[in-house]
Structure 1
Amino acid sequence: MTTVRTRIAPSPTGFLHLGTARTALFSWAYARHFGGQFVLRIEDTDVARSTQDSVDQILESMRWLGLDYDEGPIYQMQRLARYHEVIEQMIAAGTAYRCYCTPEELEAMKAGQEARGEKRRYDGTWRPAPGKVLPPVPAGVSPVVRFANPEQGVVSWDDLVKGPISIANEEIDDLIILRPDGVPTYNFAVVVDDWDMQITHVFRGDEHINNTPWQINIFHALNAPLPRFGHCPIILGDDGLKLSKRRGAVSVTAYEEGGYLPEAMLNYLARLGWSHGDDELFTREQMVGWFDGSHLAKSPAQWDPAKLAWVNAQYLKQADDARLAGLVAAQMARRGISAAADERLAAACALFKDRCSTTVELADWLAMYFAPVAPTEQDLAAHVTAAVKPALAALRERLSAAVWDKAAISQAIKDTIGEHKLKMPQLAIPVRVLVCGRAQTPSVDAVLALFDRDTVLARLST
């Protein structure tokens, strides 16, 4: 049986966006499901726009998502000699040819076609044919190399997502496969790469459907085995337009900074275009067990920030508190707040995580333990009244001498309430406002117990 080999091949012209991350997830899960291999390739032939920063960001995104690869990263620009070798073989075999048309000649050619109501395409001026006399090679023109696409017949494949697709060869132009500067074009390089890397299954966005006929024909011209293709529908933003690097999308790493957990992001991405019954939440291991290439949606998926936040909240509730402490400490550091990821911070995470959708929200809550608070004038006026200030002073006195734990703090509050004939909210809310900077928190005794005693006493004295 052939070993399943999949790949993800991002272009380092920007960050790894969500659509590519989803494709990477599908490719990774498919390979893992069948015990195969997953390859990372960096398609960096767009030399003018490719950057090392983008490569670094792609690698960091893959690391954060936990999409481990068995080979790579493999860089196309380090494979130029291989592409040139194949080009020469194709020219010798008659499946590719050099074209000396200048950009001006090509534009004039296509303008004439448009004026005649014809489809704009290369007219085959330099394509060899039996009995055809080619123009003299012009001086000073660096040629491109074009693929001699079959002129008759139909290109067909059974798409893993879309089902059977057919496109007539007469609709397909003679594609440029090598630029004058010696750098191959996407549709050629990707075929040689997939052939050399023995890729068996290609998952990618359905914007590539129009590229697939050219690629299939090049595979055939090389007598190379054809991978199975699966073209996944695009992801739409909440405005109904396509998410992309150039419009509306943010990077995968921005979601890390935004306080999302990688397992939640993978879970959410998986459900954008794939399902397993009615399961909304599942582990990475469950997805690998289920992902056999079936149940992939044919229609576009809608990005829903509220649904992602809900999924993340579910994972946050289940997350290990020590791990959350490290993530919250990192969020604090971004704000210039120093917070040790210790047992106290872990306990605070345990107390507050059920109220939060992200570690950013968790850090919003827990910043009060490490930085000054600023209650609103409205809260101070509404809750810290002249009538309650004697009780606050009495509570402060009791807390200064109490054992510093939840039970003792609770007793001090109860004793103060009894002494001053108050109800719990009449004292607890002013305490929250002064100590926490807000009127609502979890149980006030549990919240105070996680503070340093001196901080509580100082804030109650104001």
Structure 2
Amino acid sequence: MTVTVRFAPSPTGYIHIGNTRTALFNWLFALKNDGRFILRFDDTDVERSKAEYAEAIATDLDWLGVKPDRVEQQSKRFAIYDAAVEKLKRAGLLYPAYETAEELERRRKLRLTRRLPPVYGREALKLTDADRAALEAEGRKPHWRFLLPNFKDDPFSPERTEVHWDDLVRGPQTVDLASMSDPVLVREDGTYLYTLPSVADDIDLSVTHIIRGDDHVTNTGAQIALFRALGAEPPAFGHHNLLTTISGEGLSKRSGALSVGSLREAGYEPMAIASLAVLIGTSENVIAAPDMAALATHFDPAATSKSSAKFDPAELDTLNRALIHALPFEAVRDRLAALGIEGEKAEAFWLAVRGNLTHVNDAAAWWRIVNEGAQSAPDLTPEDLTFVRQAFDLLPPEPWDRETWKIWTDAVKEATGRKGKALFMPLRLALTGLHSGPELADLLPLAGRERILARRP
């Protein structure tokens, strides 16, 4: 058996870091088990689904390093769902119901007042052919419910019926089908709700493991029953915890909160996003994995906490810095060239500044400083101004290399008596306009004597 997983986003918006967690859990599970990864667009909602969202999702996944073995669209697979509906109808497991939402709500409240569980009472099963004809003559159209196997002989006398599965994340799980209403699989207008196409596709595509958010745990019992009603053995299930914002709010594709696209545009590295999306809310240390193979060694679905995890962008900054500080020049050559950073000094420049960057694009500011100096006049006291002017008079001749900074500052120290911060900080401010940054020993030869002299205040 080949391990087969799927990521099934609805193309109704851009995927966010929470969606990414699900995609990566599946991708890494397939990677660790030499399995297959299917990207399936659940686009049966024709009004809200858009091709540009599907394209954006595919682009985001590819950028993250997720490479599907197969891509499917539910909107092109209706024949499979139609066949599943007919199979259920023939077996007497899909029945028409005509209640309006208002009627169902009244019945729910009535059951609550009687201290009964607020589940559907299967009143539609009592309708005769004449009753259904009369309702349809009124203009009502049926929705179709799946008859859960939670009774022996009388569907109006449901009994506790436990469905068990060993969750890949949460361990042994139990759902009582008697505590659930028969789920609606087909709407009044003939369109499908999520459950039936999802199960039919999982059967047709030979999905062996379903890994998804724990907001689907309560759905699993009914879905397992549906798999069996359609003659298939259910796959293994795993339900990971959900990510929230740092304030505890849920993530939404509609709001665009922490979307992969926005994080990419903000300059984050794909493996920083992937590392945090996978490892946060687990017993694993959150580290910046350099690639997917390395991340897979830290991935264990069973190590995931059962409580939700808060996604803190500050942690993303930390991981991003760790990755950038280790990036060789070859890995960023083209990105630096796009920023105008190229030529014979580009590699030396990158090695000099990468340890001070949060994003690769931040290198552009240091390139300007190296070539043009401080972007605003340095804030020097009168005493420091006098000191800096004296120091500039002591600049050594070229050629310059990494030892030039020490030669220069030793001469300045001897001439002025200054040392430590009192010596180095005014020079840093005069040269860069900033209180911190890359080693000046590295920046000095990159700028050259002529450019440095031009910065004499």
TM-score by length of 1: 0.83
Alpha-carbon shift at residue 10 of structure 1 (Å):
1.4
Q: Matched residues in 2 for 1:41 and 1:167: separation?
A: 27
Show the counterpart of 2:40.
41
Q: Matched residues in 1 for 2:182 and 2:173: separation?
A: 20
Change (3 A) 1:439 1:199: same
Aligned-pair Cα RMSD in Å: 3.3
Q: Matched residues in 2 for 1:305 and 1:289: separation?
A: 24
Show the counterpart of 2:83.
85
Give the AA of the match of 1:301: A
Alpha-carbon shift at residue 291 of structure 1 (Å):
4.6
Show the counterpart of 1:459.
455
Q: Matched residues in 1 for 2:373 and 2:388: separation?
A: 23
- Within 5 Å, which residues of 2 pair with 1:262-273? 262-273=270-281
Show the counterpart of 1:231.
239
Give the AA of the match of 2:123: T
* 8 A contact 2:26–2:37 mirrored in 1: yes
Q: Secondary structure at the match of 2:77?
A: helix
**Percent identical residues:** 32
- Within 5 Å, which residues of 2 pair with 1:179-328? 179-245=187-253, 249-275=257-283, 280=287, 282=289, 283-289=291-297, 291=299, 293-327=301-335
Show the counterpart of 1:98.
96
Stretch deviating more after TM superposition (30-39 or 434-443)? 434-443
Alpha-carbon shift at residue 259 of structure 1 (Å):
3.0
Alpha-carbon shift at residue 184 of structure 1 (Å):
1.1
* 8 A contact 1:258–1:359 mirrored in 2: no
Alpha-carbon shift at residue 5 of structure 1 (Å):
0.4
Q: Matched residues in 1 for 2:241 and 2:435: separation?
A: 46
* 8 A contact 1:11–1:43 mirrored in 2: yes
Q: Matched residues in 1 for 2:101 and 2:203: separation?
A: 31
Aligned length: 445
Alpha-carbon shift at residue 424 of structure 1 (Å):
7.8
Change (3 A) 1:83 1:408: same
Q: Matched residues in 2 for 1:262 and 1:349: separation?
A: 20
Q: Matched residues in 2 for 1:307 and 1:432: separation?
A: 29
Q: Secondary structure at the match of 1:184?
A: coil
* 8 A contact 1:5–1:38 mirrored in 2: yes
Show the counterpart of 1:450.
446
Change (3 A) 1:373 1:329: farther
Show the counterpart of 2:385.
385
Give the AA of the match of 2:440: V
* 8 A contact 2:324–2:355 mirrored in 1: yes
Alpha-carbon shift at residue 168 of structure 1 (Å):
1.9
2:433 pairs, out of 420, 430, 437, with: 437
Q: Matched residues in 2 for 1:109 and 1:409: separation?
A: 83
Alpha-carbon shift at residue 221 of structure 1 (Å):
1.0
Q: Secondary structure at the match of 2:40?
A: strand
Q: Secondary structure at the match of 1:440?
A: coil
* 8 A contact 1:126–1:135 mirrored in 2: no
Alpha-carbon shift at residue 271 of structure 1 (Å):
1.8
> Residue deviations 1:54-82, cap 9 Å, x none?
2233212211211111111x111122232
Change (3 A) 1:98 1:267: same
Change (3 A) 1:271 1:103: closer
- Within 5 Å, which residues of 2 pair with 1:114-125? 114=112, 116=114, 118-125=116-123
TM-score by length of 2: 0.84
> Structure 1: which 5+ runs fail to align?
331-337
1:170 pairs, out of 178, 181, 184, with: 178
Q: Matched residues in 2 for 1:25 and 1:125: separation?
A: 43
Q: Matched residues in 1 for 2:405 and 2:328: separation?
A: 27
> Residue deviations 1:239-281, cap 9 Å, x none?
34444446794012333233332223323333224456x6845
* 8 A contact 1:6–1:200 mirrored in 2: yes
- Within 5 Å, which residues of 2 pair with 1:130-145? 134-136=131-133, 137-139=135-137, 140-145=139-144
Change (3 A) 1:55 1:380: farther
Structure 2 residue 352 is matched with structure 1 residue 356: no
Alpha-carbon shift at residue 455 of structure 1 (Å):
4.3
> Residue deviations 1:152-207, cap 9 Å, x none?
32222221122222222221112121223332111111111111111000111100
> Residue deviations 1:296-316, cap 9 Å, x none?
433333434444333333222
Alpha-carbon shift at residue 350 of structure 1 (Å):
1.3
Alpha-carbon shift at residue 6 of structure 1 (Å):
0.7
Change (3 A) 1:375 1:89: same
Stretch deviating more after TM superposition (349-358 or 451-460)? 451-460
Q: Matched residues in 1 for 2:298 and 2:408: separation?
A: 55
Q: Matched residues in 2 for 1:187 and 1:111: separation?
A: 26
Give the AA of the match of 2:62: R
Give the AA of the match of 1:340: I
Structure 2 residue 25 is matched with structure 1 residue 26: yes
Change (3 A) 1:322 1:432: farther
Q: Secondary structure at the match of 2:37?
A: strand
Stretch deviating more after TM superposition (183-192 or 141-150)? 141-150
Alpha-carbon shift at residue 358 of structure 1 (Å):
3.4
Alpha-carbon shift at residue 454 of structure 1 (Å):
5.4
* 8 A contact 2:241–2:307 mirrored in 1: yes
Q: Matched residues in 1 for 2:302 and 2:107: separation?
A: 45
